[in-house]
Structure 1
């Protein structure tokens, strides 16, 4: 299991078509279904997201564990907190086209 496999999975799903990861079919639909009704503390939500992303990644042939997803999310958080350029880019991206963010924050 590896974070690199999760990175490959993210690249794959965010470039699968012209409407990345938010389409009503394919991986987008699977992720939307899996990530609906997230409840609990932020930590519980992150654990649920890690569990579901790992499950979907595995179903698509990627060797990804929940720990890999959690490590990836934590690394993004650290980069965001420490690097203002990364924070600015992430804010711009997520406010315009981040479908993970919209799926997670929909509820």
Structure 2
């Protein structure tokens, strides 16, 4: 995945709901944490998986929103979230295009 110019399109199998387990703009996950692009394409979102899993799969809750890689790393460290190797591929500042 090209982290510098990400582009997401709607698919029948993927959800537009940020808290859905099959959200269309998930960048990566590790353990009970994942990083997504917000549905408006403005920033990265660090999420933690909720403990209770429904019939629709795991639900995710937003921990924080970041527009810089430095802020995202600080947020992950504050929550002891494991850092995914793909973090290195993120640009210093958020830049993304989301197609509706």
TM-score relative to the length of structure 2:
0.31
TM-score relative to the length of structure 1:
0.30
- Higher helix fraction: Structure 1 or Structure 2? 1
